[in-house]
Structure 1
Amino acid sequence: MGERFDRIIRGGQVVAQEEVRVLDIGMKDGKIAALAERLEASEETSVLDARGRWVLPGMVDVHVHFNEPNRGHWEGFATGSAALAAGGATCYVDMPLNGLPPTVNVPALRQKEALAEGTSVVDYAFWGGLVPGNLGDLEPLAAEGVPAFKAFLSNPGGEGEERFREVDDVSLLEGMKRIASFGGLLALHAESDAITSALAEAAAREGRTGPLDFVRTRPVIAELEAVNRAILFSEQTGCRLHFVHMSSPEAIDLIDQAKRRGVDVTVETCPHYLALSELDLERLGAVAKCAPPLRDEARIARMWEQLAEGKIDVIASDHSPSPEELKLAPGLSFMQAWGGIAGAQSSLELMLHEGHIVRGIPLPKLAAVLSANPAKRFGLYPRKGEIAVGFDADVAIVDPEASYILSKEDLLQKHPISPYVGRTFSCRVAMTLVRGSVVYEAGSGIQLSGHGIQLRAGALGSVVL
């Protein structure tokens, strides 16, 4: 008798590393046990019919803000992970801000762990943070399994003494030396605070408070200056780098040039920088406000070319939610509104629509930047990120014919605020499985609350892309 499977996904168009093939996927004990044109089911095997549907590796979203502890009213692990599951994501790495306290030491990490355990729908890991004064906390955090550290080169905003702080040049340099000493990975929000702060102050003095005024206070040159400075520090210290949410093709080219010189650096962008422009920001208002800001259509077109050329390593949501009153309250100026786009549920569908259906980018290339590459870079590989024997049975089953218009009622995040409400998507996640279990099904919602487990990546666990 052949191998017995707990579950078989039957006849889907399986998106593998190099190709798309119609295959059966056999799952056993939460792992992918077999891939074949035909697998035999026993009486105990659960069979899911995926004929006519795409079966992709679950998205590995390495950039989300779920804001716990003490800001669960903005978003929490339960609601944020539910939105991810509905969008075909099967694991995430939660940022060290905007929770209070931020995850900049082991006691703060313990608070995050306690809140997520038994709450998250999908699997998860936690970022650590680099802030002024916490050099001694970096290696202990790495020993506890954080896959990387986040630092800001510009003011991250927020209030309170405990809030996450940007690094000055000395803290950045010393932090990079320390992280390099144990082989860790540093990720940067790269905008020059000197440039953005001066331009924001000038706009305030002159009474310029609109959406395009905001864009002009955070120009591309601010991104380029910060990227150049960080790459220089990386070359001097040997610290591995990852640039989050890059918004301009110029910055991506700078990073690509550094890669060619041998710098160990990767670059991430987000769906909103590929699907929304500054014209959408004018039209939509604060719901589409983020930092760095949305750019012009010519830059967006060039970034799609860079994605096709392999110059973009990772796509992550940068899901940054807030209560409605912080974004849309009457009398709140655009400059005062919270900057962050809540897009976790739409990332995969948006990239499949805009990338594959509209622009013809092959599904394996999209799966690489959404799943395999982030898993590799952040120490979750070879457990996560691909549909292959031995990996966790994490998959998103997508109906390529299920066109729909996103409504507020579709959103599972805490606050139904999204720049994509009212947008037509040409495909839809039909089902999401995490370690072989169905956690989400279209039409009936979340199937397994609290199914997610913590992933301890370890600072030395990533793969060079």
Structure 2
Amino acid sequence: MSTTPDHTFDLVVRGERVLVDGAEQPREVGVRAGAITAVEPLGTGLAGARVVELAPGQVLIPGLVDTHVHVNEPGRTEWEGFASATRAAAAGGVTTIVDMPLNSIPPTVDVAALEVKQKVARDQAFVDVGFWGGAVPGNTSDLRPLWDAGVFGFKCFLLHSGVDEFGHLEPDELETDLAEIAQFDGLMIVHAEDSHVIDEAPAAHGDHYESFLASRPRDAENTAIAHVIDAARRTGARAHVLHLSSSDALPMIRRAKAEGVRLTVETCPHYLALAAEEIPDGATAYKCCPPIREGANRDLLWEALLDGTIDIVVSDHSPSTPDLKDLDTGDFGTAWGGVSSLQLGLAIVWTAARERGVAFERVVEWMSTRPARLAGLARKGGIVVGHDADLAVVEPGTTFVVDPLALHHKNPITPYANRALSGAVVATFLRGEEVTPDRPTGRLLTRGDI
């Protein structure tokens, strides 16, 4: 009977460009029992049951962590679903997602609803999946039980969420819930647009994007973010601003962080790659909330990302069926607001970054290392001994043209259709095993067991 020598790994990946400690280095990575157990200089000669040699132009990176994904199952599975969403994630180099508490039915606002979602997801996940809980009017007493059940934090809206079963918080309710979660050092993640400012804005209608943009003014974000900062300051709770679109809010965010307010901020690929001036009439695939703003606004978001004011980049993958996008009428007033980009996020951001002279490793930091840190995923987000062997092989110099029908998203709707993007994902590994579209090997993550 043969035995495996102690020095042999289940998987070895080696090449000139391995992203370790924030820089590309010539390394060999050894994986055993799903974990990274060796990171050695190239030429060490690690032996493995499977050896992957990186080709010229390929880079080994830690798998991306996307903490803002709407899977929508159960209840609206025709919009997406765990199987399609996690296949798409893996195809885009994402090895961990954290699912939003809406637009599924029931929404994840109590432990029973969380258990329903976990049961549905368990045998369908092609990557690892964690869950956010929801903070809605009347469920303050459910927050601690959800936290103890393993959610990574709580999402709330400060205006209508888009679905009636997930109500929004008024500023005083937000502060009440922040005070509650401060007692156990939970995290509140906030869709920060002010309902009263939106109510006073002109209603969107027709196929001109300018009408929709005027209906979601920057001041709606600015006002809501000011509420979040004030409440976080008073309660001492951790607060996270979702999908920042308005660059006008950046000065107050910088001041709050300098004061020691426990505040983090994300933005999304569509705010970094697209601009209002470029959106054609009737192109409702571009509609999202808050909206894609002007090119000058985009430039300021990039500056804030580079200087650390914005912490992470995640997809806000918010899909729907084609009929809800009103593709036939192109009416921005009635179309569902959400961009599908889970599979494309790395390529979208890298394409825009390289045009600005931003290094590839910075993009990976924003989309892997820092989101893992935000969620407290201690074993994710780096090629480090002891971490899960969640890895992706990427060709940053390879360009491809987006074909919506070729994506794993359930519905072929994307504003990136026919767009040339750089950064092809060649292979994705979850705990050292290559992810294939026929065998779901993802695990359900809870905050307590990571």
What TM-score do you get using the length of structure 1 for normalisation? 0.92
1:24 maps to 28
CA distance in 2, matches of 1:418, 1:253: 32
2:94 maps to 89
Asked if 1:395 corresponds to 2:397, the answer is: no
Contact kept? 1:212, 1:282, Cα under 8 Å: no
Query: 1:118-129 to 2 correspondence within 5 Å?
Result: 118-129=123-134
Query: 1:172-191 to 2 correspondence within 5 Å?
Result: 172-191=174-193
Secondary structure of the residue aligned to 2:435 is strand
1:326 maps to 324
CA distance in 1, matches of 2:363, 2:6: 34
Q: CA deviation at 1:41?
A: 4.6
Q: CA deviation at 1:39?
A: 4.1
2:223 maps to 225
Task: Name the amino acid aligned to 1:424.
Answer: A
CA distance in 2, matches of 1:20, 1:229: 41
Residue 332 and residue 428 in structure 1: after superposition, are their counterparts in 2 closer, same or farther (change >3 A)? closer
Contact kept? 2:207, 2:330, Cα under 8 Å: no
Task: Name the amino acid aligned to 1:114.
Answer: K
Task: Name the amino acid aligned to 1:118.
Answer: D
CA distance in 2, matches of 1:284, 1:241: 36
CA distance in 2, matches of 1:120, 1:145: 18
Query: 1:257-276 to 2 correspondence within 5 Å?
Result: 257-276=255-274
Q: CA deviation at 1:332?
A: 6.0
Q: CA deviation at 1:184?
A: 0.4
Greater Cα offset, 139-148 or 449-458: 449-458
Query: 1:91-110 to 2 correspondence within 5 Å?
Result: 91-110=96-115
Q: CA deviation at 1:102?
A: 0.3
Greater Cα offset, 318-327 or 26-35: 26-35
Task: Name the amino acid aligned to 1:87.
Answer: G
Query: 1:346-365 to 2 correspondence within 5 Å?
Result: 346-355=344-353, 357-365=354-362
1:389-421 CA-partner distances (Å, limit 9, x unpaired): 110011111113321111123210100111111
Secondary structure of the residue aligned to 1:426 is strand
Contact kept? 1:150, 1:186, Cα under 8 Å: yes
Query: 1:295-444 to 2 correspondence within 5 Å?
Result: 295-331=293-329, 333-355=331-353, 357-381=354-378, 383-440=379-436
Q: CA deviation at 1:305?
A: 1.7
1:199-238 CA-partner distances (Å, limit 9, x unpaired): 1xx436xx66632111111111111110001110111111
Asked if 1:250 corresponds to 2:280, the answer is: no
1:57-104 CA-partner distances (Å, limit 9, x unpaired): 111000000001111111000001111111100000000000111000
Contact kept? 1:289, 1:339, Cα under 8 Å: yes
1:456 maps to 446
Q: CA deviation at 1:313?
A: 0.6
Contact kept? 2:132, 2:153, Cα under 8 Å: yes
Asked if 1:13 corresponds to 2:17, the answer is: yes
CA distance in 2, matches of 1:410, 1:134: 41
Secondary structure of the residue aligned to 2:45 is coil
CA distance in 1, matches of 2:146, 2:250: 29
Task: Name the amino acid aligned to 1:452.
Answer: G
Q: CA deviation at 1:363?
A: 2.8
2:280 maps to 282
Counterpart pick for 1:79 among 76, 84, 87: 84
Secondary structure of the residue aligned to 2:441 is coil
Task: Name the amino acid aligned to 1:123.
Answer: D
Secondary structure of the residue aligned to 2:229 is helix
Residue 188 and residue 316 in structure 1: after superposition, are their counterparts in 2 closer, same or farther (change >3 A)? same
Contact kept? 1:203, 1:209, Cα under 8 Å: no
CA distance in 2, matches of 1:342, 1:362: 25
1:357-385 CA-partner distances (Å, limit 9, x unpaired): 2222223322221111111111112x001
CA distance in 1, matches of 2:432, 2:330: 46
Identity %: 39
Secondary structure of the residue aligned to 2:168 is coil
Query: 1:129-140 to 2 correspondence within 5 Å?
Result: 129-140=134-145
Gaps of 5+ in 2: none
Q: CA deviation at 1:49?
A: 1.7
Secondary structure of the residue aligned to 1:344 is coil
Contact kept? 1:316, 1:347, Cα under 8 Å: yes
Asked if 1:152 corresponds to 2:157, the answer is: yes
Q: CA deviation at 1:264?
A: 0.8
Contact kept? 1:210, 1:335, Cα under 8 Å: no
1:443 maps to none
CA distance in 2, matches of 1:158, 1:330: 22
CA distance in 2, matches of 1:386, 1:283: 42
Asked if 1:46 corresponds to 2:50, the answer is: yes
Greater Cα offset, 409-418 or 286-295: 409-418
Contact kept? 1:245, 1:268, Cα under 8 Å: yes
Contact kept? 1:279, 1:296, Cα under 8 Å: yes
Secondary structure of the residue aligned to 1:83 is helix
CA distance in 1, matches of 2:295, 2:184: 41
Secondary structure of the residue aligned to 1:119 is coil
CA distance in 1, matches of 2:432, 2:307: 33
Secondary structure of the residue aligned to 2:439 is coil
Residue 323 and residue 12 in structure 1: after superposition, are their counterparts in 2 closer, same or farther (change >3 A)? farther
1:165 maps to 167
Greater Cα offset, 242-251 or 57-66: 242-251
